[in-house]
Chains A and B, each alone.
Chain A
Amino acid sequence: MMIKKQPGVYIFTRVVVFVTLAVILIPVLWIVSVSFRTSETSLQSIFFLIPIKATVMNYVEAVKFSIEKMNISFLVMFRNSFIVTGISIVIALALASTAAFSFSNFKFPTKEVLFTMIIAAFIIPPQVLLIPMFILLKYFGVLNTYWAVIFPYAAFAVPIATLILRGFFEQIPIELKESARIDGASNFMIFLRIVLPLSKAAIATTIIFLFLEIWNEFMYALVFLVDDSILTIPVALAKLAFGRYWIPLTIYTASIMITIIPVVILYVIFQKWFIKGITMGAIKG
């Protein structure tokens, strides 16, 4: 690492980083701040960020607001997002890990062609498939159920999961697999007993990557989930904000905070995992 010894450069680097941090942090801090302000003072503050009058009531109001005006509580929102994300990831992992195993374990004609086909699906913007998917799901009769979003989410998750997992699987020493084979293990058993347990890190990484993508997805959930009771968090939040009822800024920000706080907590604890997971996902691609 080169150290910049000239004072001019030193100051320059500090300023650059400071400005960047400010631009990133100020919006976030503002939301936090407003969520604690009273409604009369919602737009007033000291140095833009410190409330003049603080209160915790906004959060209580936000919870009440969502139940009364929207027919959906935050708890239900979280439950919906959880179920949808969980099941999608399970399906995607099942498909991706088996496919990745095949690519990493065998040699066979059309191998790379098939792999490219699976990866190419990653490039397709989900919006392109919105309409045909809509008709397809309507035909299956699953619109307005969890499955309406689970099926597409899993489909879009498989390519990148396969890519990441194949990379990891290929690094498993052949000797391990060979000795198991000599002991009479079938390929499937090698898959279950050797490859998967050794890939816990890769699988965890993949799960984090997919989790973020699916948990935060908006468009498909907006179109395919109609009943208030099954909305996932992004859609529910958007509907709260733009619903039939006007929502005061303080409750607006408090609602946002409620959805963000679990993510923030997870992020602080698992920072390294998040960042590593997402970078690994990106780089393997």
Chain B
Amino acid sequence: MRKRISWIKNREPFYYIIPTLVYFAIFLFFPIVFSLALGFYEFHGYSQNIFTKFVGLENFKYVFTDTYFHIALRNTFYFVIGSIVIQLFAALFLAVVIFYGDFKYSTAIRTIIFFPAVLAPVTVSLVWRKLLQSEGLINQILRIDFAWLSNIKIAIFVLIFVSIWQWFGYNLVIFFAGLQSLDGEVIEAAEVDGASWAGKITRVVIPMLVPYIVISVILNLIGSFRIFDIVYVMTKGGPIHYTEVLTTLLFFYAFNPQGLSNMGYASVIAMVLMLVMVLFGVIRLRLITRK
């Protein structure tokens, strides 16, 4: 009872939050709801009145038969799982190596490896595009002539590699910060018990790093669903839509003249993206809290 009365009396805290909430209502919450409604219509982005053509569940039905959608869905999964797993193992491994390896220039090394994360994904994509072209550096070094980005089966994995390349340093730094925060005493206690260094690392250090592992996984999860720039700039979703991810497919259907220019359908894809993302997030959280 007392709480209620003082709440009504003191509205001051809310004054500080209302601007943000209003801003969000306009630019975040409303668009989300709007997006859901849009899925029921068919319309061109540049038409005057959006709600002219109500198509009910047709857009939703089309999603199930659209091969491009299935490709995009599959590729998105590849990206998400690939990013999370590879970044986790590779960056953690390297962080341990650098941290325990007694490197004189450890800071410089980390600074260098971190650098690509500071660049625009567009820039990174433009660079790798040229590296991977037929006369590019990669083929020069390997002395072969392989069309990396035109190969239907391989291209998507090449893109995933570029994404991992860019964000590797980011994950590395997170794990390194984790290692730095560890309590030396616990590790020394293990040393006294006579554990080998490999055992020490796997059985003592890594479990203590779990919070950081969680951070890395969550960040990679959120980040990999957002991949757009890399795919768009390097392959535009090609060849023949074989490297599309949900985000680029959405873009294609909404804005590309060769696409359907049906923003209603694109909205459905957006909703699917959101749904998948939430599902994945929930599954992950369940897994983590169980551990």
Contact = CB atoms under 8 A, between A and B. Distances in A.
A185 to B, nearest CB: 14
A155 B140 contact: no
A114 to B, nearest CB: 6
B169 interface: yes
Interface in A12-43: 13-14, 16-17, 20-21, 23-28, 30-31, 34, 43
A1 B182 CA distance: 11
Contact of B131 (A20, A25, A27, A99): A27
Nearest to A133: B31
Chain B: number of interface residues, binned into ranges: 35 or more
Given A99-B20, A123-B222, A129 B165 contact: no
Nearest to B271: A128
Given A27-B128, A108-B14, A122-B222, A131 B266 contact: yes
A283 B215 contact: yes
Interface stretch (B21-29, B61-69, B146-154): B21-29
Given A99-B20, A219-B229, A278-B117, A252 B28 contact: no
A282 B112 contact: no
A112 B116 CA distance: 36
| Chain A interface size, under 10 / 10 to 19 / 20 to 34 / 35 or more | 35 or more
Contacts of A162: 20
Contacts of B102: 1, 3-4
B97 to A, nearest CB: 5
A121 B127 contact: no
B54 interface: no
Nearest to B3: A109
Given A95-B19, A133-B27, A283-B212, 6 more contacts: A17-B103, A99-B16, A125-B247, A134-B45, A154-B23, A234-B229
Interface of A: 1-4, 10, 13-14, 16-17, 20-21, 23-28, 30-31, 34, 43, 48, 94-96, 98-99, 101-103, 105-106, 108-109, 111, 114, 117-118, 121-136, 151-152, 154-155, 158, 162, 187, 191, 212, 215-216, 218-219, 223, 233-235, 237-238, 241, 249, 252-253, 256, 259-260, 263, 267, 271, 274-275, 278-279, 282-283, 285
Interface of B: 3, 7, 10, 12-17, 19-21, 23-24, 26-28, 30-32, 34-35, 38, 45, 50, 93-94, 97-103, 109-123, 126-128, 130-131, 135, 137, 140-141, 165, 168-170, 173-174, 177, 187, 191, 197, 200, 212, 215, 218-219, 222, 225-226, 228-229, 232-233, 246-247, 250-251, 254-255, 263, 266-267, 270-271, 273-274, 277-278, 281
14 contacts: A3-B102, A10-B101, A17-B94, A17-B101, A24-B113, A102-B15, A127-B251, A127-B270, A132-B35, A152-B27, A218-B228, A238-B233, A275-B111, A282-B215
